[in-house]
């Protein structure tokens, strides 16, 4: 693992490349599209690593993080409809506490570290044999089975 001083040397600001050539002086409106995705910003892995190191190594940043997380997540996650709290069943309340509160902490951490968060929403595959009990109960009500 690199020391903090080594990280600073690797991530020093670099002078922009010299602008040369006739095409570089007056870029066309399509030059951003030709260069990659419109609005695309590339971030060096060294910069991300340095930000991560600073975020976790700085006591003042960790103190601010602790206060912020305490204020934001001290009461956990709450589901509201029309401004009123929705009563939750115990199973779903545990699910919120076990899954969504840690997710919210990670989102806040990444936003504080890097200024952005990447989230991919995908349907989760059911666990193996999840439908076994449902199928067994359904088969018990069926008239097709042996008598």
pLDDT digits 0-9 by tens, 3-29? 656 766 776 666 666 655 554 556 666
141 backbone dihedrals φ, ψ, rounded to 5°: -90, -10
What's the pLDDT at 23? Answer: 46
CA 10 – CA 80 distance, rounded (Å): 47
Is the pTM of the predicted complex or chain greater than 0.75? no
Q: At what angle do helices 101-114 and 45-57 cross, to 10 degrees?
A: 110
Which one-letter DSSP state was computed for residue 78?
A: -
Which one-letter DSSP state was computed for residue 80?
A: E
Q: How many domains does the chain have?
A: 1
Q: Is residue 83 one of the residues assigned to a domain?
A: yes
Q: Is residue 146 one of the residues assigned to a domain?
A: no
- Name the nearest CA neighbour of 77 among 92, 65, 63: 92
Q: Is residue 110 one of the residues assigned to a domain?
A: yes
* Domain hosting residue 93, numbered range: 43-116
CA 113 – CA 85 distance, rounded (Å): 32
Q: Is residue 16 one of the residues assigned to a domain?
A: no
The model's pLDDT over 80-106, given as tens digits with 9 standing for 90+, comes to 999 999 999 988 888 888 989 999 999
The model's pLDDT over 99-133, given as tens digits with 9 standing for 90+, comes to 899 999 999 999 999 999 989 888 877 776 666 66
CA 107 – CA 103 distance, rounded (Å): 6
């Amino acid at each position: 693992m690199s020391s903090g001083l080594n990280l600073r040397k690797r991530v020093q600001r670099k002078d922009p490349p010299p602008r040369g050539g006739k095409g570089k002086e007056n870029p066309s409106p399509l030059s951003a599209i030709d260069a990659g995705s419109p609005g695309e910003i590339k971030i060096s892995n060294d910069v991300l690593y340095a930000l991560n190191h600073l975020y976790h190594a700085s006591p003042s940043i960790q103190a601010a993080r602790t206060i912020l997380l305490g204020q934001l997540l001290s009461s956990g996650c709450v589901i509201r409809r029309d401004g009123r709290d929705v009563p939750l069943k115990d199973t779903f309340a545990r699910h919120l506490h076990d899954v969504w509160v840690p997710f919210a902490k990670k989102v806040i951490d990444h936003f504080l570290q890097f200024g952005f968060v990447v989230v991919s929403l995908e349907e989760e595959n059911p666990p193996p044999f999840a439908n076994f009990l449902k199928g067994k109960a359904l088969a018990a009500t069926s008239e097709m089975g042996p008598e």
